[in-house]
Amino acid sequence: MHKYFSKKIISFTGMVLLLLVTSVAKGNSLENLAKALAKIRGEVETLQTQLDTEKDKHGSRMSALTSQLADLSVEERRQKMSIEKLQHSIEKMTVNAKKAEQSGESLKPVLLAMLADYRQHIQTGFPFKPEDRIRALGDLESNVVNQLIDPNKAVNQAWSLIEDEIRLSKENGIYQQVIFLDGENVLVDIAKLGTVFLFFQTRDSRFGMAKRLSDGGWKYETVDDTNDIERIKNLFDSLKKQIRQGYFELPNPLRK
């Protein structure tokens, strides 16, 4: 009888110990689970914060890109209007030339007025080889003033100059040009994109772009940002490989 109760007591004690161990184990498990959940919650909150930050950055970037796109549209319209003005001038001059032939009136004042408009277009417009373009204009003006060229032939040459301007707005490529940079004239390679963008690379591996000033003029500036330098390098490499179309990420010279 005594042995029987002893066994019962031992068995009961074992069960109690088992329950206590199980309870402790469950308690530890719940505690670990709570810690794991807290950790996950913290990670979720961190990711949510990062996501919100990226959304804000994306929104700011989209706003900046929208603003830059508007600037580019304005510059494109400016160049287009300038070319259209030249076209109108040459068309008007052609009409006057025909009238002059019939009435015997002098064509010289009409032609010189048109060439004066063209000179202003070059001086205030896109800074692609302006000296060469003005030199060609000056030669034609001199021939007209000194009556060294037939008026009809002068009209044709003037029209040819206007066609060159129109072609400039459509062509992309690499050229060489002397620019005024940091107080001196420097011969550089330039990457011209229509009549909106002009990037340059110096012989000592400096990179930069032409920026329009508030008074309508232009200034050449180097870039220091490593990413912008790589973008301009990629543009030059692509144009050298005759890759003239596609997606290019470039620094914006119209950005204030």
Non-local (6+) Cβ contacts of 173 within 8 A are 191, 192, 239, 244
CA distance 197 to 33: 60
Q: Is the pLDDT assigned to residue 29 strictly greater than 70?
A: no
168/107: higher pLDDT: 168
188-206, pLDDT tens digit by residue? 999 998 888 899 999 999 9
Q: Is the pLDDT assigned to residue 3 strictly greater than 50?
A: no
For 46, the token pair is: 């961190």
66-78, pLDDT tens digit by residue? 665 565 566 566 6
C-beta separation of 178 from 158 below 8 A:
no
What's residue 9's pLDDT? 46
Distances (CA, A) of 218 to 185, 249, 251: 15, 22, 16
Q: pLDDT exceeding 90 applies to what percent of the chain? A: 27
Residue with tokens 């040819």: 160
Q: Which of 141, 138, 122 is nearest to 130 (CA)?
A: 122
126-140, pLDDT tens digit by residue? 899 999 999 999 999
**Following DSSP, what letter does each residue of 176-233 receive, concatenated?**
EEEEEETTEEEEEEEEEETTTEEEEE-TTS-EEEEEE-TTS-EEEEE---HHHHHHHH
C-beta separation of 194 from 170 below 8 A:
yes
Interior angle at CA 58, CA 57 and CA 62, nearest 5? 120
Q: Which of 38-42, 91-95, 127-131, 252-256 has maximum average pLDDT?
A: 127-131
Buried/exposed code over 31-60 (b: 16+ C-beta within 10 A; e: otherwise)? eeeeeeeeeeeeeeeeeeeeeeeeeeeeee
**Per the confidence metrics, is the pTM higher than 0.75?**
no
CA distance 241 to 244: 8
Q: Which of 249, 195, 200, 245 is nearest to 221 (CA)?
A: 200
92-137, pLDDT tens digit by residue? 666 666 665 544 356 778 888 888 888 988 888 889 999 999 999 9
**How are strands ordered across the β-sheet holding 197-201?**
172-181, 184-193, 197-201, 207-212, 218-222
